[in-house]
Chain A
Amino acid sequence: MKFIVSSSSLLKQLASINGVITTNPVVPILENFLFEIEEGKLTVTASDLQTSMITEIEVESKENGNIAVPAKILLETLKNLPEQPVTFSIDEDTYSVEISSDNGRYKLAGENATDFPKVPTVSDDFSVDMSTEVLSSAINNTIFATSNDELRPAMTGVYMNLTDTNTTFVSTDGHRLIRYRRVDVASENGNAIIIPRKALNLLKSTLPSENTNVSVEFNVSNAFFRFNNIRMICRLIDERFPDYENVIPVDNTNTMFIDRSELLSSLKRIAIYANKTTHQVRLKITGSELQISAEDLDFANEANERLSCEHDGEDIEIGFNAKFLIEMLNNVDSDKVELRLSEPNKAGLLIPTDKSDNEDILMLVMPVMLNNYV
């Protein structure tokens, strides 16, 4: 079997799905790309069993055939070749692959394509369409707050709940929680799934910057994403997502409005002086002044800044992990944010004040106890 393809277009396609491949896969064949040629079309699959990505590219070829090609060597080769058509010649008996270019010939040992694990297909599925813009902002807004705790698998992914009026994406690591809601995506039949973080990270890096449609199909065990010429299939997290609505306080009446970038840059400076394990910063709101301070007594470091804000409520002093606040503020593009608090030991809410009509963002963060609070 033989086919000819442009080195740079093939590289581009391979690079977009290469992220799936792990360095030490469960079965060694998963270090390969699966090449399948049919009617002049090359379908490439990369998989780690949990997640698979598939892309397609037109090639010049007279025959049909399959082969598994070592991913790392192939990618390195293509990266270092100047743009040109390259010819792949595959010996279907020995699975050897020969690549010839203007520069020379490269021979590598492929593997039998039939050994490559079968990618699941989604049947009896539920489908919904959304734009790449919606999907990528949903991912960007939630993924950073997912948990790494493998003992609580439900929290290692992002929960997506479709209803007839909106779609809600939720992530939490137990210390903070993000609820990102879109009213421009809805489905008459409600349904909810938990998408693993790895799949979302791959989507995040592969979704094209130009706005296009993503078709999402899923059943209880797998989800299927399709955009442009790329498909991704991932196994879903089959767990019950925590009852997140119950932990979102509704009576946080101590509110403060503040310039987002001022708060963010202040926190970045103050955080340098915070204790390195707790990252605790102290927010003290008195009248219309926010005082941010931190100290690390082990090194006799301390820092203190004052910002002005609009504040409605009792004076309050509350501690937070600066890293959490910084991460949250970094993921918001509103000019101003609102902080809704109640008590120094109760959840605080961070809400961007300007947002698009179609979205609703709520960020919850649990405090770090200040010890002068009794």
Chain B
Amino acid sequence: MRKIIHIDMDAFYASVEQRDNPELKGKAVAVGGSSRRGVVAAASYEARKFGVRSAMPSKLAAVKCPNIIFIKPRFEAYKEVSQQIRNIFYDYTDLVEPLSLDEAYLDVTTNKKDMPSATLIAQEIRKRILEETQLTASAGISINKFLAKTASDVNKPNGFFLITPDDAEKFVETLPIARFFGIGKVTADKMKRMGIQNGADLKKYTEADLVSRFGKAGRYYYRIARGIDEREVTPNRIRKSLGAENTFEDDLTSVPELKEQLKKITEILIGRMEKSDTKGKTLTLKVKFHDFQQITRSKTITKWIENEDQITSLYEELLGTFDTGDVKIRLLGLSVSNLNHELKEEPIGQQLTLDF
């Protein structure tokens, strides 16, 4: 049985804007163009009360909610937050599948913190997101992607919902067809015309029936009607390197100091490598000087780098490649790349399919 979490930021773009501009707090905000042809990319919950939805033409939004404030999107800011939340996810698992900037699936069946409860992980992640970004997120917890995604919507915003394996079928049976993830408006309308109002109705159809009516998607509908979804959480980002670094309160000025700190960093790195069963063939040393100037030096060997002695002799060699005589160093980092995982994944190419 898998443990899947779906995390979805609440009114993401609009919330980032409200966070960064306190004047917008508590007001109806729409991110998107206000011009004649603009559409709403995201609406704050205050605006949603008036019926403003994302993808709605801005003109219509202005009619529904005359006091609405239009904000130009700042994708750089959203990307930054997105990266922040992804980094939080990676503290728990590498099996993170981002769906967009503001939502992702996490497979926490086995997780880096060895936490047995997916619900507690989800709660911890939500708490950390709030602390680190001042933004709220909703979470859905269940045994597959479909159920987790559906669950995250149940207590939105700023809530979470768990669908246990025992509840799954019951939950899906009573779920209105329009609330199924993967069933859009057009399909939902078509299903309603067929008399399908909820999961229980959908379940009455055979797989062949659904496929003949809806094409390949019919197979997915057949499965989700039974709460079954075998799709894996596929991180499209495979870890390329693993590292550890430290910024010092006082700049390091001597080689013995440097070596002492590198030894500590090596210990942390080795710990991380062992934990994730990772080895690499390249070691990179990162040095940031007091003036924020940064250099990296790397060395690749033919054997796997997996123990402290190897790393020590490699960084000692790398230290010799730049002048360490009269320096002030504020940060040191070590990382391994050319990882064994990359190679392991290599032959498992996924055949892409035409999108009919």
Residues on A lying within 8 angstroms of B by beta carbon are 151-153, 172, 174-175, 177, 239, 242-244, 247, 275, 278, 280, 295-298, 319, 321, 345, 347, 364, 366-372, 374
Inter-chain contacts of A321 with B (CB < 8 A): 351
Contact (Cβ within 8 A) B354 A371 = no
Inter-chain contacts of A243 with B (CB < 8 A): 356
Inter-chain contacts of B219 with A (CB < 8 A): 151
- Beyond A151-B216, A242-B354, A374-B236, 9 additional contacts (C-beta under 8 Å) are A151-B219, A175-B351, A177-B354, A278-B348, A295-B347, A298-B347, A345-B352, A347-B354, A371-B346
Q: How many angstroms from the CA of A246 to the CA of B160 in the assembled complex?
A: 39
Q: How many angstroms from the CA of A295 to the CA of B353 in the assembled complex?
A: 22
Binary contact track B323-356/A, C-beta < 8 Å → 1, others 0: 0000000000000000000111111111111111
Contact (Cβ within 8 A) A368 B351 = yes
B77 contacts the other chain (CB 8 A): no
Which among A242, A244, A278, A371 is the interface contact of B342 at CB below 8 angstroms? A371
Contact (Cβ within 8 A) B349 A175 = no
B335 CB, min distance to chain A CBs, angstroms: 17
Contact (Cβ within 8 A) A275 B236 = no
B126 CB, min distance to chain A CBs, angstroms: 27
B237 contacts the other chain (CB 8 A): yes
B96 CB, min distance to chain A CBs, angstroms: 13
B115 contacts the other chain (CB 8 A): no
Contact (Cβ within 8 A) A366 B347 = no
Inter-chain contacts of B349 with A (CB < 8 A): 275, 278, 280, 319, 368-371
Number of B interface residues at 8 Å Cβ cutoff, please give it: 26
Given contacts A347-B354, A374-B236, contact A152 B215 (CB under 8 A): yes
Binary contact track B272-285/A, C-beta < 8 Å → 1, others 0: 00000000000000
Given contacts A280-B347, A371-B238, contact A175 B212 (CB under 8 A): no
B207 contacts the other chain (CB 8 A): yes
Contact (Cβ within 8 A) B347 A278 = yes
Contact (Cβ within 8 A) B354 A247 = yes
Closest 6 pairs (CB-CB, A-B): A242-B356, A368-B349, A275-B347, A280-B349, A366-B352, A151-B211
Chain B residue with Cβ nearest A242: B356
Q: How many angstroms from the CA of A175 to the CA of B354 in the assembled complex?
A: 6
Inter-chain contacts of B215 with A (CB < 8 A): 152, 242
Chain B residue with Cβ nearest A155: B356
Given contacts A321-B351, A347-B354, contact A152 B211 (CB under 8 A): yes
Which among A174, A239, A368 is the interface contact of B354 at CB below 8 angstroms? A174
Q: How many angstroms from the CA of A245 to the CA of B354 in the assembled complex?
A: 11
Q: Which of A297, A369, A371 has the most CB of B within 10 A?
A: A371
Query: What is the interface of chain B mostly: helix, strand, loop, or mixed?
Result: loop
B255 contacts the other chain (CB 8 A): no
Residues on B lying within 8 angstroms of A by beta carbon are 207-208, 211-212, 215-216, 218-219, 236-238, 342-356
Given contacts A151-B208, A374-B237, contact A366 B351 (CB under 8 A): yes
Contact (Cβ within 8 A) B344 A297 = yes
B240 CB, min distance to chain A CBs, angstroms: 8
Contact (Cβ within 8 A) A174 B350 = no
Contact (Cβ within 8 A) B237 A297 = no
B139 CB, min distance to chain A CBs, angstroms: 26
Contact (Cβ within 8 A) B345 A371 = yes
Contact (Cβ within 8 A) B342 A372 = yes
Inter-chain contacts of B237 with A (CB < 8 A): 374
Chain B residue with Cβ nearest A347: B354
Q: How many angstroms from the CA of A295 to the CA of B345 in the assembled complex?
A: 12
Inter-chain contacts of A295 with B (CB < 8 A): 346-347
Contact (Cβ within 8 A) B211 A174 = no
Inter-chain contacts of A370 with B (CB < 8 A): 349
A-B contact pairs, 7 of them (CB 8 A): A151-B207, A151-B218, A172-B356, A297-B344, A364-B354, A371-B342, A374-B238
Contact (Cβ within 8 A) A278 B346 = no
Which among A153, A177, A296, A369 is the interface contact of B352 at CB below 8 angstroms? A369
Chain B residue with Cβ nearest A366: B352
A68 CB, min distance to chain B CBs, angstroms: 33
Chain B residue with Cβ nearest A370: B349
Chain A residue with Cβ nearest B219: A151
Contact (Cβ within 8 A) A297 B347 = yes
Chain B residue with Cβ nearest A247: B354
Chain B residue with Cβ nearest A367: B352
Inter-chain contacts of A367 with B (CB < 8 A): 352
Chain A residue with Cβ nearest B345: A371
Q: How many angstroms from the CA of A247 to the CA of B353 in the assembled complex?
A: 11
Contact (Cβ within 8 A) B346 A297 = yes
Given contacts A295-B346, A371-B348, A372-B342, contact A366 B353 (CB under 8 A): yes
Chain B residue with Cβ nearest A344: B352
Inter-chain contacts of B351 with A (CB < 8 A): 175, 278, 321, 366, 368
Contact (Cβ within 8 A) B344 A175 = no
B349 CB, min distance to chain A CBs, angstroms: 4
A84 CB, min distance to chain B CBs, angstroms: 52
Q: How many angstroms from the CA of A243 to the CA of B354 in the assembled complex?
A: 11
B353 CB, min distance to chain A CBs, angstroms: 5
Inter-chain contacts of A242 with B (CB < 8 A): 215, 354, 356
Q: How many angstroms from the CA of A298 to the CA of B343 in the assembled complex?
A: 11
